[in-house]
Structure 1
């Protein structure tokens, strides 16, 4: 079981945490949403919860909960710039279907 960051994503998160002046890392979880059933939830973590599962890539911690892990286990979080668009990309091997708009997925 693991969650990982690409080096680009880790560098982006590290830089943002430094500018922010606080934070332990990022939380990756899923929530029920969208036309395909689930959506990713990504947020900064300032305090670790007792029930958090913690992974590390390139010196950056990734937090999740036991309920989300089966849906995102093996996921690599990448950061990409493509033309005028930039943002995080979720490379999740568990995804069976995604909605047309790319906002939600199904496993």
Structure 2
């Protein structure tokens, strides 16, 4: 299960509302890549896939594909306003190592396909 802070919830709701797409939701998951092996994907989407898992959150849906689920279970998504460096933050209890910018990670059991940042 994913947790989302109040600040992140407000920002996601704003992004979805401003997307002007009917049925938009937050898609969250991981892909191979990044300095540490796996990189986070967080975006507004409106197309469901067959293997998607849907979680109702506040005024929107959070969708995670089944391949990403083991890597993001227990994740806490936050949001910080900090001038030029503000944005979403991700605290992942599954991550055993992360890159310097925090955009990629690896777990104890899976290193992913690391690529230069």
Is the TM-score greater than 0.5? yes
CA RMSD of aligned residues (A): 1.5
Following TM superposition, by how much is the alpha carbon of 1:83 offset from its aligned partner in structure 2, in angstroms?
Answer: 4.2
Aligned residues: 106
Task: Provide the C-alpha distance between the structure 1 equivalents of 2:45 and 2:83, rounded to a whole number of angstroms.
Answer: 29
- Equivalence for 1:16: 15
* 2:56 alignment counterpart: 56
Q: How many Å separate the matches in 1 of 2:17 and 2:35? A: 36
CA distance in 1 between partners of 2:39 and 2:20 (Å): 28
Q: Deviation of residue 19 (structure 1)? A: 1.5
Distance in 1 (CA, whole Å) between partners of 2:17 and 2:59 is 13
Q: Unpaired runs of 5+ in structure 1? A: none
| 1:25-69 Cα distance to aligned partner (Å, 9 max, x none) | 111111111221111011212132232101122222110111111
